[in-house]
Copies of this chain bind each other. A is one copy, B any other.
């Protein structure tokens, strides 16, 4: 049911401590959001350029349970939820997988594989008036496919 986005951790996402720099986990979560929009038929090129409506993130949080390394394979499981007429949230579970640096033990239990969790809250804004406006039918459709509407 939730949308899944697979990704290899890249070198530029790591830092001198040898692991993924903390904000890059949120970047990867946003990539999962973009991939889910594209899978739902949304044109990412125009969606984010904010003509009629902008969709800024007003809140984000992230928790880290285990470090991630260059070359690791991760799966992002994305679950969306409409909050009100103009707002939705996305929950992300970041699952570690068979990395190429470790013995290839594919853990079947998601809890054991959970390396992080994140949440983003998005509000629909009319650019001219800078006031909240209703989510488009395109977004309501995407919410139905990747989570739940009101």
Contact = CB atoms under 8 A, between A and B. Distances in A.
B64 A57 contact: yes
Nearest to A17: B50
A26 B64 CA distance: 15
A76 B105 CA distance: 31
A133 to B, nearest CB: 16
Interface string A71-95: 1100000000000000000000000
A71 B44 contact: yes
Interface of A: 8, 10-12, 14-19, 21-24, 26-27, 30-31, 34-35, 38, 43-46, 48-50, 54, 56-64, 67, 69-72, 99-101, 120
Number of copies: 4
Contacts of A100: 38, 43-45
A11 B16 contact: yes
Nearest to A55: B17
Given A23-B27, A43-B100, A44-B70, 20 more contacts: A8-B35, A10-B30, A11-B30, A12-B15, A12-B27, A12-B30, A14-B16, A16-B69, A22-B120, A23-B24, A23-B26, A23-B30, A23-B60, A43-B71, A44-B101, A45-B70, A49-B70, A58-B64, A59-B62, A59-B63
